[in-house]
A and B are shown apart, each in its own frame.
Chain A
Amino acid sequence: MRKRPSGTALIEIAEATEAAADPDAPNANYVAAMIRNACAIAERQAEGGHDADRAEAAGLHALLGQAGAVEDLNRELVRLIRDGTAPVGTHAHLVAVNRGELAESNPRYLARLDDGD
């Protein structure tokens, strides 16, 4: 499940930050890099659309044997993990979801992992 803030919310705070930014500030480069990063994450989320969400829902459905909203199913999965009764396949499911999130939040990191770096 995508972490909050969402891409749309990231754009909002990035725009507000840019409007308030002092180009002569000693950390101006750092702020500019943060703005670029926020916009890139938002862009990748927009491109991905609801595919990741649907894949996660399907994975949760298969894992838990029940249908429902992704958030509710994740809440159920959390409960099972904490109780020590996570279904077989939980780790593989979490890895698949994580790869989807990493592809949006930091694709370079994912590429380095896949290269065995």
Chain B
Amino acid sequence: MGMAGNLTTEQTTRLAAWLTGEAQAETQVLATERLSGGAIQENHRLEIEVAGGPWPGRHDLVLRRDAASAVATSHSRAEEYALLKAAHKAGVTVPAPCVLCTDESILGGPFFIMHRVAGEARGGRLIKSPPDAALVREIGADLARIHTITPTTAGGELEFLGTPPADPARAAVAQYRAYLDALPDPHPTVEWGLSWLAEHAPTPGEIVLCHRDYRTGNLMIDQTPDGPHLSATLDWEFAGWSDPLEDVGWFLAKCWRFGRWDQEAGGLGPRDDFIAGYTAASGRPAPPEAVAYWEVMAHVRWAVIALQQAWRHVSGEEASLELALTAHVVPELEAEILAMTGGPS
């Protein structure tokens, strides 16, 4: 890891001048530092001081931009900023968005700036803390706030998400079958899971904004004097319109408990408390069998993505040990798919 991702002096100077315009007051960049993580997007810590105007004083911020290795499959920075703004407006615990810059002459690409939030997001670290019923209740309630955003309430702001699917479960099954068909090897167990999902698909209900990667690892938890609290929901790049229980199932899925299987709410606390927090805040029931359906979907979706990632390595598109090893996570996911879909056949 070199310094390639750090902001250059020239970039910092241009950034300060651009911020001075945005803040309508002389703005100084006091410090910048590339934060760890993020192969597709880069996060930089940014400390600024604004001499007056509507935002006077010192601000501890995060600047997010595409990394050099960015791929075109996830949402653009402008789209992610729109999602962050919509979530913030709906009262979701997210870093407050500040400004978006689409002028590529400043940093060579679009970027946005948000407030810096304290906390830990690494799943492997978080599951070492004692299980916490209150924390997962709070997470459930916060997820309910994301789901208050609907195609109607969002107006035109989230138009880039496209037309909401009429039947999210069946649309997902069709999409994952197409993904499997594009891979050279047959995968009968994942196929078995997809058949089960097609057969047990729920009657389509309401469609809401789903985060679609809502799990331990993408949630920032801050240890405060009165206990751990959710401090930010990160990585909105896969958000889209879907059945609200898709996020509930993804969060609860065994594959996202970082090995602490007995704490079914993301390895952080008990399932029932998470569900109670979600249903109380949303007023929406989450029947166990409906949630279980989306947990099967979670394992199938992750298995399909893992096979795609492994194929990027095998096909020679991108030689990577990390991608190669992803193939060998698939048997774990398949074991769970088979355990949840045991049937007459």
- Beyond A34-B325, A91-B345, A98-B189, whether A82 also contacts B1 by CB under 8 A is no
Neighbour of B1 across the interface among A25, A34, A77, A91, CB < 8 A: A25
B59 on interface, CB distance cutoff 8 Å: no
- Closest beta carbon of chain B to A49's beta carbon, Å: 18
> Do B345 and A74 have beta carbons less than 8 Å apart?
no
Complex contacts, B341 vs chain A, CB 8 Å: 91
Contact with A along B318-345 (1 / 0, CB 8 A): 0111101101111110110011011111
Structural contact, B187 and A86, CB atoms closer than 8 A: no
Chain A residues, Cβ within 8 Å of B338: 91, 94-95, 98
Known: A3-B330, A91-B192, A117-B261. A71 touches B185 (CB 8 A): yes
Which of B189, B307, B319, B330 has a CB less than 8 Å from the CB of A13?
Answer: B319
> What's the Cα separation between A14 and B323 when bound, in Å?
11
Residues of A contacting B314 in the complex (Cβ-Cβ under 8 angstroms): 4-5, 9
Q: Is the CB of B310 within 8 A of A3?
A: yes
Q: Does any Cβ of B come within 8 Å of A84's Cβ?
A: yes
Contact check, B320 vs A22: say whether CB atoms are below 8 A apart: no
Residue among B1, B189, B330, B338 with the most chain A CB within 10 A?
B189
A102-B186 contact in complex given A3-B310, A26-B1, A88-B344, C-beta closer than 8 Å: no
Q: Indicate the size class of the contact surface on chain A.
A: 35 or more
Decide: B345 and A90 in contact? CB cutoff 8 A.
yes
Q: Which of B174-230 contact A (CB under 8 A)?
A: 177, 185-189, 191-192, 194-195, 199
Report the minimum CB–CB distance from A81 to chain B (whole Å): 5
How far, in whole Å, are A72 and B332 apart by their CA atoms in the complex? Answer: 24
Of A13, A84, A110, A117, which is in contact with the most chain B CB atoms at under 10 Å from its CB? A13
B322 to chain A: which residues have CB within 8 Å? Answer: 34
Residue in B186, B261, B320, B327 whose CB lies within 8 Å of A78: B186
B interface footprint on A13-54 (CB within 8 Å = 1, 0 otherwise): 110110000100111000100110110010000000000000
Judge if B88 is at the interface, Cβ distance under 8 Å.
no
Residues of chain A lying within 8 A (CB to CB) of residue B331: 3, 98, 101-102, 105-106, 109
Chain A residues whose CB sits within 8 angstroms of the CB of B313 once the complex forms:
5, 13
B-facing residues in A56-99 (Cβ within 8 Å)? 71, 74-75, 77-78, 81-82, 84, 86-91, 94-95, 97-99
- Tell me which residues across on chain B come within 8 A of A16, comparing CB atoms: 319, 321
Q: Report the minimum CB–CB distance from B320 to chain A (whole Å).
A: 7
- With beta carbons under 8 angstroms apart, the residue of B186, B307, B319, B334 that contacts A74 is B186
Question: In this complex, what residue of B is CB-closest to A21?
Answer: B321
Docked CA distance A99–B342 (Å) = 15
Complex partner residue of A1 from B36, B186, B343, CB under 8 angstroms: B186
15 contacts between A and B (CB under 8 A): A1-B185, A5-B313, A22-B1, A26-B36, A34-B322, A74-B186, A74-B188, A77-B186, A84-B195, A88-B345, A89-B345, A94-B334, A97-B189, A105-B329, A106-B331
Q: Which 9 A-B pairs have the closest CB atoms?
A: A105-B328, A74-B186, A3-B327, A101-B331, A17-B321, A75-B186, A102-B331, A78-B186, A77-B188
